[in-house]
Amino acid sequence: MLDAARTDEALLEVNNVEVIYNHVILVLKGVSLNVRKGGITALLGGNGAGKTTTLKAISNLLHSERGEVTKGSIVYKGERVQDLDPSALVKRGVIQVMEGRHCFQHLTVEENLMTGAYTRRDGRGAVDADLEMVYTYFPRLKERRRSQAGYTSGGEQQMTAVGRALMSRPEMILLDEPSMGLAPQLVEQIFEIVKSINENEGVSFLLAEQNTNVALRYAHQGYILENGRIVMEGTASELRENADVKEFYLGVSDEGRKSFRDVRSYRRRKRWLA
Amino acid sequence: MLRDIFITPFVDMVEAPDFLMQVLWEGLVSGVLYALIALGFVLIFRSSRILNFAQGIMVVFAALTLVGLHAMGLPAWIAVAATLAVMFVLAVTIERVVLRPLVGQPDIILFMATIGITLFLIGLGETIFGGENKVMITGELGIPTGDTVLEPFGGLLILQHLDITVVLVAVALVGALLAFLNYTRMGRAIRALGDDHQAALSVGISLQTIWVLVWFIAGIIALVTGIAWGARAGVSFALEVIAYKALPVLMLGGLESITGAIVGGLMIGVLEKIFEIYWGQPLLGGNTEAWFAFVLALIVLLFRPQGLFGERIIERV
């Protein structure tokens, strides 16, 4: 949590990464992206586009799912990190919040948060101070601190998962699909908190989202992933104004608003992937 | 006949409460040891989904090592420390050589691997220390051997000092384990890993560290139970059997539940003793302790497949 100022300096560089599952299934076909220091970068795309795989390739959680980075490089602060194990990466300040929250169900909310500090060696006092910091961002969690996480609501679990990541004192959080299964109001609330964590604590975010609309309102940069390839990139405002993005992801086109359902996916494949 | 089953035993219990207390006490002594061993199983199962078949032989191996090292001239307490070191090396070796290469394999493969560990330890133990029965170094460890005679209800209750020590040590160890699991960073990590492997990895918990830790805890438990049981029955490979008594405890208590292991262990210890004395010996010719626990566990399984205390599956709708 260094200076909150956003810079153009790349904190994380993903260069032409290819990922294969089970030695045969090619999921990422050469993905390149940069995450700027102090910014929120959105990774957008539909189901199966490769968003989660990209995040797991970075955090090195692929191995436990028989996935492998077969080409390309992942560089964090000038260091190649793709051969490190997840815990070494957490110690360097990169932590992932997985899709579907993944709270420890039988642990209390507070115990969940404390597991986030597992890799820290800076003493009890600093950890307790950060626990209070997490509770100021998520007052709801303080009320629920003694409840078993499995019995809390989806929104509270998402807060717990983000708070848990925050407890590791990260410089960068890989946030996978925070809007999943949450009511629109709650989604908005979670994104507001992400924004304030970004601004106040200087934590950079790489955010995988299907909810293009919300994500582009809060992100600074964006990448669109389609079928294992980056098909478009730019600042969030550029992407918001882009005609294709409007048509394919926001459901708005020159002919007026229409349902995403009517935008045949082969059209965007044809236009982008040909 | 019906009278012998349903009335006489209870009449006996009421008429000789001192004897009933004696039976309960002896059941409790076995019970705490079952509970301790079951805890070793539960910790390993929760953090790696392995049913550790080798727990039994670890008891024998720890006891043999202790007696063997003492026979080589080490003072008793130094031998205990050295045995703990051996159990730690064993834990590291098992993680390195057996568990790590098998990560992600089906559970049954890992279970088979623990059978392999069992056979290996039997061979290793016999080669180094020989296969003959040995006497546990009870006196050298300063474990008292006398007994205290109480006279409740004008009767007689004999408490072996050995048994008292065993109960106190086992209770202290269980208490220490619970405190460790609930209030320390490592303990939390062990429980977290049992809940969600992926999430544990994502916050930087290292599987390898936790595995070494739980196998080492199983090793400590093995040593304590090995000393306790060895002091009564001598140190031989037959001790292995007592660890299998932990299996019905697990069925009863649930494979994942720490409370279940403790309560299940005590229940089986006490119930099998009562059954043996009041029903087994008069009606079935005795020696029911060998099978009672298993039958009880089977009956429980019929009605509650997750065990009496199987961790509640949290399901939100």
How do A94-97 and A172-176 pair as beta strands? parallel
Q: What was the pLDDT predicted at B151?
A: 80
**CA end-to-end span of chain B:** 52
Place B9 in a pLDDT band, splitting at 50, 70 and 90.
Answer: confident
Q: Is residue A182 part of a domain?
A: yes
Q: Is residue A225 part of a domain?
A: yes
Place B310 in a pLDDT band, splitting at 50, 70 and 90.
Answer: low
Q: What was the pLDDT predicted at A194?
A: 96
Q: Give B110-125 pLDDT, tens digit per residue.
A: 899 999 999 999 999 9
Does residue A96 sit in the same domain as residue A73? yes
Does residue A271 sit in the same domain as residue A195? no
Please answer yes or no on whether B204 and A91 come within 8 Å at the CB atom. Answer: yes
Q: Would an 8 Å CB–CB cutoff place A64 in contact with chain B?
A: yes
**DSSP strands (E only) in chain A:** 10-21, 25-36, 40-44, 67-76, 79-80, 94-97, 172-176, 204-209, 221-226, 229-235, 252-253, 256-257
Q: Would an 8 Å CB–CB cutoff place B317 in contact with chain A?
A: no
Residues 219-248 of chain A with CB under 8 A from chain B are: none
For residue A252, the enclosing domain spans 246-274
Query: Do the beta carbons of residue A239 and residue A39 sit within 8 Å?
Result: no
Residue bearing the bigger pLDDT, B256 or A225: A225
Among A137, A120, A32, A20, residue whose Cα is nearest residue A74: A32
Q: Give A220-235 pLDDT, tens digit per residue.
A: 999 999 889 999 999 9
Mean pLDDT along residues B155-172: 90
Q: Would an 8 Å CB–CB cutoff place B72 in contact with chain A?
A: no
pLDDT in tens, chain A (274 residues): 444 445 667 899 999 999 999 889 999 999 999 999 999 999 999 888 999 999 999 999 998 788 899 999 999 999 999 889 899 999 999 999 999 989 999 899 999 999 999 999 998 999 999 999 999 999 999 999 999 999 999 999 999 999 999 999 999 999 999 999 899 999 999 999 999 999 999 999 999 999 999 999 999 999 999 889 999 999 999 998 888 888 777 767 666 665 555 555 556 666 666 5
Q: In one letter, which amino acid is A84?
A: L
Closest residue, chain B, to A116 (C-alpha): B203
pLDDT above 90 for B246: no
Q: Is residue A199 part of a domain?
A: yes
Residue bearing the bigger pLDDT, A272 or B248: B248
Q: Give B42-72 pLDDT, tens digit per residue.
A: 889 888 888 888 988 999 999 999 999 999 9
Number of structural domains in chain A = 2
pLDDT above 80 for B311: no
Asked which of A159-168, B126-135, B211-220, B306-315 is least confident by mean pLDDT, the reply is B306-315
Chain B: nearest CA to A65, how far in angstroms? Answer: 9
Report percent pLDDT > 70 for chain B. 97
Does residue A86 sit in the same domain as residue A184? yes
Closest residue, chain A, to B205 (C-alpha): A87
Strand partners, A97: A175
Q: Which residue in this structure is represented by tokens 């539940």?
A: B257
CATH number of the domain bearing residue A90? 3.40.50.300
- Identify from B202, B256, B257 which residue to disrupt to test chain A contact, counting A C-beta atoms within 10 A and taking the largest count: B202
Asked which of A197-201, B73-77, B130-134 is least confident by mean pLDDT, the reply is B130-134
A-B contacts (CB, under 8 Å): 86
| Top-tier CATH class for B2-303 | mainly alpha
E strand or H helix at A82: none
Domain layout of chain B by residue ranges: 2-303
Q: In one letter, which amino acid is A152?
A: T
Q: Give B285-296 pLDDT, tens digit per residue.
A: 878 888 899 999
- Identify from A60, A68, A95, A105 which residue to disrupt to test chain B contact, counting B C-beta atoms within 10 A and taking the largest count: A105
Q: Is residue A124 part of a domain?
A: no
Query: Do the beta carbons of residue B114 and residue B53 sit within 8 Å?
Result: yes
Q: Is residue A271 part of a domain?
A: yes
Q: CA-to-CA distance for A217 and A215, rounded, in angstroms?
A: 5
Please answer yes or no on whether B200 and A91 come within 8 Å at the CB atom. Answer: no
pLDDT above 70 for B315: no
Q: Would an 8 Å CB–CB cutoff place B199 in contact with chain A?
A: yes
Among A36, A18, A71, A55, residue whose Cα is nearest residue A203: A36
How do A40-44 and A204-209 pair as beta strands? parallel
Q: Is residue A40 part of a domain?
A: yes
Q: CA-to-CA distance for A205 and A41, rounded, in angstroms?
A: 6
Q: Give B178-235 pLDDT, tens digit per residue.
A: 999 999 999 999 999 988 888 999 999 998 899 999 999 999 999 999 999 888 888 8
Q: Is residue A166 part of a domain?
A: no
Closest residue, chain B, to A109 (C-alpha): B192
Q: Would an 8 Å CB–CB cutoff place A164 in contact with chain B?
A: yes
Q: What was the pLDDT predicted at A179?
A: 93
SS3 A9: coil
Q: How far is CA B132 from the centre of its chain?
A: 24
Q: In one letter, which amino acid is B154?
A: G
Does residue A24 sit in the same domain as residue A88? yes
Mean pLDDT of chain B, nearest integer: 88
pLDDT above 90 for B238: no
Characterize A253-267 residue by residue with b for buried, 16 or more Cβ atoms within 10 angstroms of its Cβ, and e for exposed: eeeeeeeeeeeeeee
Mean pLDDT along residues B167-174: 92
Strand partners, A96: A174
Q: Is residue A160 part of a domain?
A: no
Please answer yes or no on whether B195 and A107 come within 8 Å at the CB atom. Answer: yes
